[in-house]
Amino acid sequence: MKPVRFLRMLSTELFTTTKTVQIRTVSLLACNRRLRTSSTTPWFNKSDFLEIKHCHVVSYASVAHQPGSETSVAALNVDMSRKVCHIRWEDGFISQFHVAWLRHNCHCEECRHHNGQKLLDPSNVSCNLTIENAVIQGSSLVVTWSGMNDLHIGEIPTSFLRSHNYNMQTLLDRRVNTRPEPAFEIPVVSYKDIINSEGGLYRWIRHINEEGISIIKDVPLSEDMVQKVVELMGPVMPTIYGATFDVEKTSDPINVAYSSLPIGLHQDLVYFESPPGLQLLHCLEFDDCVEGGDSVFLDAFGIAEKFRVAYPDLFEILTKVPATFQKVHYNRDLPVHLVNQKPHIKVNHLGEICAVYWAPPFEGPLAVDTKDVEKYFCAYEMFAKLIKNAELLKYRMHPGDLVVFNNLRMLHGRNGFKTNGGARRLKGCYFNIDMFKSQMQVLHNLEGDGRLVKRVGNQCWF
List, for residues 419-460, the tens digit of each pLDDT value.
Answer: 999 999 999 999 999 999 999 999 999 989 999 999 999 999
Single out the residue in 119, 150, 176 at which a domain terminates.
176
Q: Is 462 within the bounds of a domain?
A: no
The CA distance from 226 to 237, in Å, is 12
* Sign of CA pseudo-dihedral 17, 19, 24, 27: positive
Q: Is 361 within the bounds of a domain?
A: yes
Q: How much helix, strand and coil, in percent to the nearest 5, is found in the chain?
A: 25, 30, 45
CATH number of residue 62's parent domain: 3.30.2020.30
CA distances, 24 to each of 49, 356, 451 (Å): 10, 54, 39
Residues 86 and 12 occupy one common structural domain: yes
Q: Is 70 within the bounds of a domain?
A: yes
Phi and psi at residue 39, to the nearest 5°: -150, 165
The number of domains in the chain is 2
Single out the residue in 176, 197, 230 at which a domain terminates.
176
Q: Is 311 within the bounds of a domain?
A: yes
Single out the residue in 154, 176, 198 at which a domain terminates.
176
Residues 275 and 417 occupy one common structural domain: yes
Residues 262 and 336 occupy one common structural domain: yes
Given a contact cutoff of 8 angstroms between Cβ atoms, the answer to whether 310 and 318 are in contact is no
Residues 288 and 353 occupy one common structural domain: yes
Residues 394 and 339 occupy one common structural domain: yes
Cβ contacts of residue 242 below 8 Å, gap of 6+?
A: none
Q: Is 458 within the bounds of a domain?
A: no
Residues 233 and 161 occupy one common structural domain: no
pLDDT of residue 226: 98
Residues 240 and 312 occupy one common structural domain: yes
Residues 40 and 78 occupy one common structural domain: yes
Residues 77 and 13 occupy one common structural domain: yes
Comparing C-alpha atoms, which of 165, 24, 149, 26 is closest to residue 85? Answer: 165
Q: Is 1 within the bounds of a domain?
A: no
Cβ contacts of residue 267 below 8 Å, gap of 6+?
A: 275, 300, 356, 357, 358, 359, 407, 408, 411, 412
The CA distance from 152 to 144, in Å, is 6
**Domain that residue 128 falls in:** 6-176
Q: Are strands 424-431 and 278-286 parallel, antiparallel or unpaired?
A: antiparallel
Burial of 299 (0-12, 13-18, 19+ CB in 10 A): buried
The CA distance from 365 to 326, in Å, is 9
Residues 187 and 170 occupy one common structural domain: no
Please give the chain's pLDDT, 462 residues, in tens.
333 332 223 223 333 333 222 222 222 232 223 222 333 333 333 333 222 222 222 222 223 334 444 679 999 999 999 999 999 999 999 999 999 999 999 999 999 999 999 999 998 898 899 999 999 999 999 999 998 667 899 999 999 999 999 988 888 888 888 999 888 899 999 999 999 988 999 999 999 999 999 999 999 999 999 999 999 999 999 999 999 999 988 878 777 888 889 999 999 999 999 999 999 999 999 999 999 999 999 999 999 999 999 999 999 999 999 999 999 999 888 999 999 999 999 999 999 999 999 999 999 999 999 999 999 999 999 999 999 999 999 999 999 999 999 999 999 999 999 999 999 999 999 999 999 999 999 999 998 999 999 999 999 998
At 119-164, the pLDDT tens digits run 999 988 988 999 999 999 999 999 999 986 678 999 999 999 999 9
CATH number of residue 322's parent domain: 3.60.130.10
Residues 189 and 142 occupy one common structural domain: no
Residues 289 and 416 occupy one common structural domain: yes
Q: Is 338 within the bounds of a domain?
A: yes
What 3-state class would DSSP assign to 318? helix
Q: Which residues pair with 49 in a beta bridge?
A: 59
Cβ contacts of residue 45 below 8 Å, gap of 6+?
A: 5, 60
* Sign of CA pseudo-dihedral 199, 203, 209, 214: negative
Q: Is 461 within the bounds of a domain?
A: no
